[in-house]
Copies of this chain bind each other. A is one copy, B any other.
Amino acid sequence: MTTYKLTYFNLTARAEQIRFLLSYLNVDFEDVRFEREQWPAIKPTMPFGKVPVLEIDGKTFNQSIAICRYLAKKAGLAGDDEWESLLIDVAVDNIYEIRQEIMNYYHEPNEEIKSKLRGPIVNDSIPFYIDRFENIVSENGGYFVNGKLSWPDLYFVSILDHIKSVIDVDLVDGRPHFTAFKHKVLAIPQIKSWIAKRPKSQ
């Protein structure tokens, strides 16, 4: 049996998308969480100095999106042909792009610059992306791609709590169709069960 060991901070952030997929797959995984003060000692042991990493049968991989795609293939959520996989990969990278813009704001060390960044992201970038995502989901039968569950659906919902915590915006708030989409994904039995049992994180 394949063994999985995930290493990350005690946060949802960049690891929750992996935890969602491992949960969806109904596989056991070791969910190693460390505290911020442990990071300086752990960082040099990581392949590119970053986390999350997933060990699969003892081999360590970084890059959360690449890891998710691998798990999504195992779960049958990465497309039935190359064309569908392209639609899925485009959706994931579009979600990644707005997430990254929000995280660049969050990690900005200069408080003056940071406060200037917030307005354009909240008033322009977020609505720009979320309007488009909501259209895509409504045109595709309630999912990001081709009227059926695929991993961008899980990815998008997995990051909502963390986004809210870093910029205080609920991406689906005030959008009835998108709120229904979120609840549909959260009602998937394996996801519901994971969220009920997952450790509390900041």
A83 to B74, CA, bound (A): 11
Chain A 83-98 interface mask (CB, 8 Å, partner B; 1/0) = 1011001101110010
- A132/B63 contact (C-beta < 8 A), A82-B74, A89-B69 known: no
Asked whether any CB of chain B lies closer than 8 Å to the CB of A49, the reply is yes
Copies in the complex: 2
A66 to B79, CA, bound (A): 13
Chain A 58-76 interface mask (CB, 8 Å, partner B; 1/0) = 0001110111011001100
A106 to B16, CA, bound (A): 31
Q: Is the CB of A132 within 8 A of B86?
A: no
Size band of the interface chain A makes with B: 20 to 34
Q: Which residues from chain B contact A97 at a C-beta distance below 8 Å?
A: 48, 63
- Output the nearest chain B residue to A129 by Cβ-Cβ distance: B48
Q: Is the CB of A132 within 8 A of B48?
A: yes
Q: Which residues from chain B contact A86 at a C-beta distance below 8 Å?
A: 61, 66-67, 69-70
Asked whether any CB of chain B lies closer than 8 Å to the CB of A127, the reply is no
A62-B90, A69-B86, A69-B89 known, 13 other contacts, Cβ within 8 Å:
A47-B132, A48-B94, A48-B132, A49-B128, A61-B86, A61-B90, A63-B97, A65-B93, A66-B89, A67-B86, A70-B86, A70-B89, A113-B113
Could you jot down 20 A-B contacts, CB within 8 Å?
A47-B132, A48-B94, A48-B129, A49-B128, A62-B90, A63-B89, A63-B90, A63-B93, A65-B89, A65-B93, A66-B86, A66-B89, A67-B86, A69-B85, A69-B86, A70-B82, A70-B85, A70-B86, A70-B89, A113-B113
